[in-house]
Amino acid sequence: MELLIGKTLNELREWALKHNLERYRADQIYQWVYKKWEDNPERFTNISKELRKWLKENAKFHTLEKIERVEAPDSVKYLFKTEDGHLVETVLIREKDHWTLCVSTQIGCNVGCKFCATARDGLIRNLTAAEIVDQLLWVQKDIRDLDKPWNKVRNIVFMGMGEPLANFNNLKKAVEIFVDQKGVDISKRRLTISSSGILYQLRKMAQDPLLRNVNLAISLNAPNQKIREEIMPITKTNPFDELWDLLVNYPLPEGRKITLEYVLIKDINDQREHAEELARLIKPHRKRFKVNLIPYNPSPILPYERPPEGRIYEFQKVLLDNAIITTIRWSKGQDVFGACGQLRAKREIPLLNRGEFVKN
């Protein structure tokens, strides 16, 4: 059986012609899968029964297996298994009036941020484009029958397991499928790629006509080389000054800003002096940046702590006093260990709706 998920429309058309199907059949299948979130060809009502039967026997519409769905008041975490037996986590986040989906691009991660649980296992492998796209398809199938606006994911953030830009080609293909108006049709303004700041891949993204038109978020997490290198060892080979110069000159679409993500870790990068140094760095370029302060999400396998709430607000005030757009992102998904930096931790997860446990 051939996997159809993860194919662009042109690739699906080529597949149809290879199997002596009319070209327009590919367009029909594409819309059933990416517009109506249907994975059962028996329900493809605008094609013949014979073709439906043939598709049932010869085509696959998922590459991931949904293992578990764990709910919290502000989020839902999905646990998937790949065909080679690895686990992938995806988090659906409830915003004020829409859903945001946090998707993974790798199994594990080799960036090695010391405060991130996902990095503990290192990198196992990249996810394929099909595995990235399938995370959305499973979630959309799950929510498609809800009332609007809750029956469709509005925003996608590549902030799950892994460094998205280290899986550049598969990331780009997934983005191409997500923004295709004949299919998923998510606005480029509602897609965000989060990166740890690997210079080579960032330069490649800046030159790519598709990826440079989606939103960029950078995990900065420090105001200088010394602190950033301490908690993000990749800074040794991707120096802070070079990263900052790249960001200051990054080709932004009109009206967009780069998001600087700053995880606040108690007694590491959360002091007033750190806020003032960060403000001095950003202020001359404040029209092109906004700051997301992320209070650290504790993990049972890591030694770091969240700063006191008062210190978090003091840090924000320093930036606001310098006319820098700054929000505090109180991470969602902590109840299911799906918040920032908590994915793929070794733990027991209480299944809130059944009172059972699953280990991963």
Q: 259 with 207, same domain?
A: yes
Q: 42 with 181, same domain?
A: no
Q: 159 with 37, same domain?
A: no
Predicted confidence (pLDDT) at residue 195 exceeds the cutoff of 60: yes
Confidence (pLDDT) at 358: 33
Predicted confidence (pLDDT) at residue 47 exceeds the cutoff of 80: yes
Predicted confidence (pLDDT) at residue 299 exceeds the cutoff of 90: no
- Looking at the structure of the chain, the number of domains it has is 2
Q: What angle do CA 320, 324, 330 make, to 5 degrees?
A: 70
Interval 155-162 mean pLDDT: 95
Give the domain extent around 43: 2-60
Residue that is last in its domain, among 37, 60, 83: 60
Confidence (pLDDT) at 151: 93
Interval 100-113 mean pLDDT: 94
Q: 40 with 143, same domain?
A: no
143 is written with which tokens?
Answer: 């929510």
Confidence (pLDDT) at 332: 57
The domain that contains 36 carries what CATH number?
1.10.150.530
Predicted confidence (pLDDT) at residue 310 exceeds the cutoff of 50: yes
Q: What angle do CA 349, 350, 356 make, to 5 degrees?
A: 115
> Maximum CA pair distance of the chain?
70
Interval 57-63 mean pLDDT: 97
Predicted confidence (pLDDT) at residue 273 exceeds the cutoff of 90: yes
Residue positions annotated with a catalytic role: 89, 340
Residue type, 17: L
pLDDT above 90 covers a percentage of the chain that reads 86
d(CA 197, CA 202) in angstroms, rounded, equals: 7
Q: 159 with 17, same domain?
A: no
Predicted confidence (pLDDT) at residue 237 exceeds the cutoff of 90: yes
149 prior amide bond cis, ω within 30: yes
Mean pLDDT of the chain: 91
Interval 242-260 mean pLDDT: 97
Confidence (pLDDT) at 353: 32
47 is written with which tokens?
Answer: 């094609």
Which has the closest alpha carbon to 54: 7, 4, 101, 104? 4
Q: 168 with 76, same domain?
A: yes
* Dihedral angle sign, alpha carbons of residues 5, 8, 9, 14: negative
Predicted confidence (pLDDT) at residue 344 exceeds the cutoff of 80: no
Q: How many CB atoms lie within 10 A of CB 36?
A: 13
Q: 23 with 42, same domain?
A: yes
